Structure 1
């Protein structure tokens, strides 16, 4: 009898057993075990265990009954086992960072862990692609039919038959067959690798970080942009706290981030000095492009197309040099009133003495708005902005080159031409924010945050996605015009 679970009485006539709960086990499987033992459907489970009704729909990036963030359940959890589920929420380790480093779009699990009735909320962290305990790739599909798993939240779909596929009905592992498998809920023998990761997250919770642009930091327009963003945030926080990123299990397909940290300064920005820095960087770029001579002119309307609504700049020919495309985007993003010939069609790129008076856009001139930084740091941000626009231009060129010139074909009704034209418009829809100075004042590939260090000393960290751009590549983050 000593080896049998010792059941405990819960509020509402429920029973449970804390022996089924294991260190760093997620709230999903903790709740699933209570549901199976008490034969509760999802609606009764929400009301009896958490005192909350289920949501019929939740289309936000974080579900209203998510097991990542426990604010909705913390004040209402019923009884001993209800309270014991709260440590399974990821927010119990890292607070609000839970929803910007992890996703509840799908339940993610390790097959070997699930075989012993275990799943951790740490598995929902996007930067973690393999189980730290077994080295197995984390799954978010059914092992039987490959159907997607339900949301990592208290939902009707997920808890109609907990840890069983909503498509084929098969259990996600041997410990989950729709019954209370007490003898199989033994949990993993060693969770120390997860405990090391948990200590890192707890260190992040105490960081006095202000990161207002975290939600707009997107390295590339793609369906998985949100997941890549969460990986980048995880990496940036790891650098900030002085802790290495994951020892293993990180997806090699996701590019890493780079950063530079500088103390914030009180002196207000000096417009004349910053305009001079900007013009110096612009001359440097023009020389690299071979456009600095007085005689180098081109007709803007013959080379580029500017959308009327959002002013996105797109080359009319796929053969347009990507650096020239990037330069036009960058100048349009930086200057409040670009040289009149740029808008009229003819753009002279002359020596500095003959250049029109430059006026910078106010958001750029005052970047960052919340704190003051040195002109050197500001210039570094402006240079990195061009590198981001250069990367965008190259990605655009690579994407549209195979399409030929779908809008300049003699036979516009040919099936292949129509298909290429449709593909071009789809690409334009995805990339327009990166090509438009109105939609993105600054490139979304750049971000920054501030935090308190030591005795109230405030630091700024400029973070960006690591790019490889050949001769333009800035490996150290400090190369480029001074």
Structure 2
């Protein structure tokens, strides 16, 4: 819309910035001029009707709550065929939307002539000095945008109907959900990936998770995501139990903890059996092929000969088992209270908790396999490799240190009402950005 306004009125971008009240900004950020969530347009007094029209057609108008969690403004994304007809939908900015719903073509964010990245999805001189023109090679993103002064326009009247309209309805439906997702911003925050890569990965996984909770008209997200649904048990304990019932009110909690400990033991026995692991799962005193730091409760592989399944399994045990010493014989099992009570924000059934435990194990093993690939020829026991090995582990240890993160990077859960007073917990397990973009 903004590009067409500039071309149709033969307006210079700096004049447009003055109309939008942006000319005085010396060092503007993309967010301060974003077309994804153009709240800044409310300050526009010279062209209020135009500002209101642009704001009404923005992504944030569809989803005020989840706009930034689903879509991005760092580059302009488009379908080549749509743009060749003079059209681009705001929904193309969704990181989880990989292909055009109309033409089934991959959405791209680069110039087809030279491969340079497109400008930000924002009102900037860079983007609109020559609208729909590559800033590197000066080629138009599509021939239809070669508008000569005084010539008529050939943009077709592509309407946001059909496939895009159904997707817009889904986005609005998701925004209307009463979702409680307390750790969404910390989820999939792998420190090794670049900030832009991690955020794009999270947005794609968020779309995939919501597409499970609310059926989407098409597949969303290119991240491997597993979503499991569980109906939350009702709260039956009274807020102020009568005299004489205080002691009985504690018994179900104790019984629940015993049941969850049994579930954990069962999962651990099953994995040890199918993986043919030693009975005690101890680390030999010479540390064998794993480097153990008792000070940090941290276990890392010394070389690529380490079985990543064993490493992932031991990392999982360090997360769950309290006072665990992998160098000593196995004693009575005590699980960390914070993980026994998962999720602490609301009640969950023992069945849901068992799946939570298993997904933690699966993600820990997946991360151990990614680290196994990254180690390559390095060996902690080889003096010449020691410095490079320590540097690599400095990048990876966050994902294997329970003190840094209680659960694996890719695990989260959100809750939403299901009607009739019941709530549903959606357990979401997504591969980390490191696993998805293997280094």
TM bracket, shorter-chain basis:
0.7 to 0.9
Q: Distance in 2 between matches of 1:156 and 1:167?
A: 14
Q: Does 1:377 align with 2:352?
A: yes
Cross-structure match for 2:4: 33
Cross-structure match for 2:268: 282
Any idea what the Cα deviations from partners look like across 1:241-273, whole Å, max 9, x if unmatched? 234543xxx67x642433223224426854444
SS for the counterpart of 2:287 is helix
SS for the counterpart of 1:34 is helix
* 1:325 aligned residue (295, 307, 311): 311
Cross-structure match for 1:183: 153
* 2:398 aligned residue (396, 414, 433): 433
Cross-structure match for 2:176: 206
Q: Does 1:73 align with 2:41?
A: yes
Superposition CA RMSD, Å? 3.3
Q: Distance in 2 between matches of 1:184 and 1:430?
A: 53
1:106 Cα offset (Å): 0.8
Cross-structure match for 1:390: 365
TM-score normalised according to structure 2 size:
0.81
Cross-structure match for 2:205: 232
1:207 Cα offset (Å): 0.9
- Over 3 Å counting, the alpha-carbon distance change for 1:41 and 1:426 in structure 2 is farther
Q: Distance in 2 between matches of 1:52 and 1:360?
A: 60
Q: Distance in 2 between matches of 1:147 and 1:230?
A: 23
Cross-structure match for 1:91: 60
Cross-structure match for 1:399: 374
1:297 Cα offset (Å): 6.3
**Contact (CA 8 Å) 2:100, 2:107: kept in 1 or not?**
yes
Q: Distance in 2 between matches of 1:172 and 1:269?
A: 63
SS for the counterpart of 1:138 is coil
Q: Distance in 2 between matches of 1:123 and 1:295?
A: 50
TM-score normalised according to structure 1 size:
0.75
SS for the counterpart of 1:458 is strand
1:450 Cα offset (Å): 0.6
Gaps of at least 5 residues in structure 2 are 238-251, 433-439
**Contact (CA 8 Å) 2:119, 2:126: kept in 1 or not?**
yes
**Contact (CA 8 Å) 1:151, 1:158: kept in 2 or not?**
yes
**Contact (CA 8 Å) 2:363, 2:431: kept in 1 or not?**
no
1:436 Cα offset (Å): 1.6
Cross-structure match for 1:446: 411
- Over 3 Å counting, the alpha-carbon distance change for 1:226 and 1:53 in structure 2 is same
- Over 3 Å counting, the alpha-carbon distance change for 1:428 and 1:157 in structure 2 is farther
1:320 Cα offset (Å): 1.8
Gaps of at least 5 residues in structure 1 are 1-29, 350-354, 468-482
Q: Distance in 2 between matches of 1:210 and 1:179?
A: 52
Cross-structure match for 2:435: none
Cross-structure match for 1:304: 290
Any idea what the Cα deviations from partners look like across 1:104-139, whole Å, max 9, x if unmatched? 121011222223322111111122222222333222
**Contact (CA 8 Å) 1:43, 1:54: kept in 2 or not?**
no
Figure out how many residues of one structure are paired with residues of the other and give that number: 410
- Over 3 Å counting, the alpha-carbon distance change for 1:42 and 1:204 in structure 2 is same
Q: Distance in 2 between matches of 1:440 and 1:283?
A: 25
- Over 3 Å counting, the alpha-carbon distance change for 1:264 and 1:426 in structure 2 is farther
